[in-house]
Amino acid sequence: MNKSFFPVRSILWTTLCASMGLLCVNVAMAQASASTAAVTPIRQADFIVAVVNSEPITNREVQVMRQRLANDAAARGDNTPEASELTRAAVEQLINEKAQLQQAKEAGIKIETEAIDQAELNVASSNQLSREDMHKRLAQEGMSVGTFREQLRTQLLLARLREREVEGRVRVSDLDVEQFLSEQIKAQAAQVPAQLNLGMVLIAVPDNSTASALQALGERAADVARRAQAGENFAELAKAFSQTPDRGANGGEMGLRPADRYPELFTEATRLLKAGEVSAPVRSAAGFHILKVLERRQVTTLLVNQTRARHILLRPSAQLSQAQAVAKLSEIRQALVSGKSDFAALARAMSQDGSAEQGGDLGWANPGMFVPEFEQVMNRLRPGQIAEPLVSRFGVHLIEVTDRRNAPMSDQEQRTLARSALREKKLDEAYAAWVEDIRGRAYVEMREPPQ
């Protein structure tokens, strides 16, 4: 797996998702659409539901779109809308698509046969099928290859139009990036505890101390606190007075750690103190504590959840079909899960990837470093878990996640993330405005259904 393959931003259309300039269409969705069309009663004559700039939208098209939208909702885990709402949404979607396709035609945008061929290959790969198997499955569901390729052509045409009309409008300034990062860091700081290093002098209170002894110990603690607050060397005071097990040998320093790893009594006593300030004595079951804030580090950089994984890659060839590669890796997985084989040794011996020399190790990876089909499977794995064989555009993979961590991002990584997120947001806004503009300029006539 080449870590230089970064997914390129694209808008998710109804059945189209572009990543790295490649197409990914959900075959099951297309099958459902075909099935819906196939089960429409023959005795029910089709009729026109609406006209968009003299081009009709038929009831049959609406029913197919209804099913497509229902599948979209199911794929997202959403509840399927009510029938009337689904019909209204289907009609609106078709009106928008018709108006956009008409604009694409006026603009002279064309889709080459080679682009459709590549899209078809990508669809098959993303669904872990060969092109021939995908054609068979579509035929089983009542959709011809020609119809499916026409759907691909339409979606590519719409995507190309939107790229031309929308993406060129979006600009992200350096000021936008700075403001975004500032907001994100503040939001993260509210969720991630500050790093805190405290110094402590403990005036111990023995069990069963008398009231007079307790008063004397309290006065001694108050005197140490006053001296520390006046600027006297805290480390020397700790060595002289602290009754911790190490007798203040390290100057009372307890070490930099997340604030929530200190006792709540300590964090509350120092919550309003700045670095260098000393608290008044606070009482616990152990005695009186005088606390100094030696260092307080707030989150100043964004953290990213990184994954470390390794894989074995087999590339289908004339000697090894995709099905054979899947079967072979399935056997290897069983051997690995049962503890009979070593992953790194097998990767070095048989993986057809540059990571083979490292035992298949891909190193620490940020989100978006691998192609979507690989990353989706990887993200579902727990450390130590091995996935079933995965077919990607590069071949067949056996993936194991070895570790996960939250790591600070470099300045460049932060700015890249910010620019990408802002561009996504602005593209969504620009796309919504563009759709509304196209819809507003189209002549739309709604028709009543026949009685």
Residue 128 pLDDT grade (very low, low, confident, very high; cuts 50, 70, 90) = low
Contacts of 141 (CB under 8 A, 6+ apart): 31, 32, 34, 35, 38
Residue of 273 and 25 predicted with greater confidence: 273
The answer to whether domain 17-165 has CATH 1.10.4030.10 is yes
Residue closest to 205 by CA, chosen among 167, 177, 174, 243: 243
Residue of 126 and 151 predicted with greater confidence: 151
Residue closest to 420 by CA, chosen among 378, 380, 366: 366
Instruction: Give pTM, 2 decimals.
Output: 0.54
Q: Tell me: the pLDDT tens digits for 393-408?
A: 889 999 999 999 988 8
Q: Tell me: the pLDDT tens digits for 244-285?
A: 888 777 889 999 988 888 999 999 999 899 999 999 999 999
- pLDDT of amino acid 200: 95
Where do the domains of the chain lie?
17-165, 172-192+411-445, 197-297, 303-408
Residue of 304 and 172 predicted with greater confidence: 172
Cα dihedral 370, 373, 378, 380 in deg (nearest 10): 140
Paired residues of 204 in beta bridges: 287
Q: Are strands 22-24 and 17-19 parallel, antiparallel or unpaired?
A: antiparallel
Looking at the structure, give the CATH architecture of the domain made up of residues 303-408. Roll (3.10)
- pLDDT of amino acid 126: 67
User: DSSP 3-state assignment of 352?
Assistant: coil
Spatial contact of 386 and 333, defined as CB atoms under 8 Å apart: yes
Q: Tell me: the pLDDT tens digits for 366-424?
A: 888 898 889 989 999 999 999 999 888 889 999 999 999 988 888 888 898 889 889 98
Spatial contact of 194 and 299, defined as CB atoms under 8 Å apart: yes
Helices in 166-277 by DSSP H: which ranges? 174-191, 211-229, 234-241, 264-270
- pLDDT of amino acid 189: 67
Same fold, 197-297 and 303-408: yes
Backbone angles phi, psi at 391, to 5 degrees: -95, 120
- Number of Cβ within 10 Å of residue 70's Cβ equals 20
Third-level CATH fold of 197-297: Chitinase A; domain 3 (3.10.50)
- pLDDT of amino acid 192: 67
User: DSSP 3-state assignment of 182?
Assistant: helix
Residue closest to 309 by CA, chosen among 370, 399, 385: 399
Q: What is the mean pLDDT of residues 181-193?
A: 76
- Cα 243 to Cα 83, 249, 281, distances in angstroms: 75, 10, 14
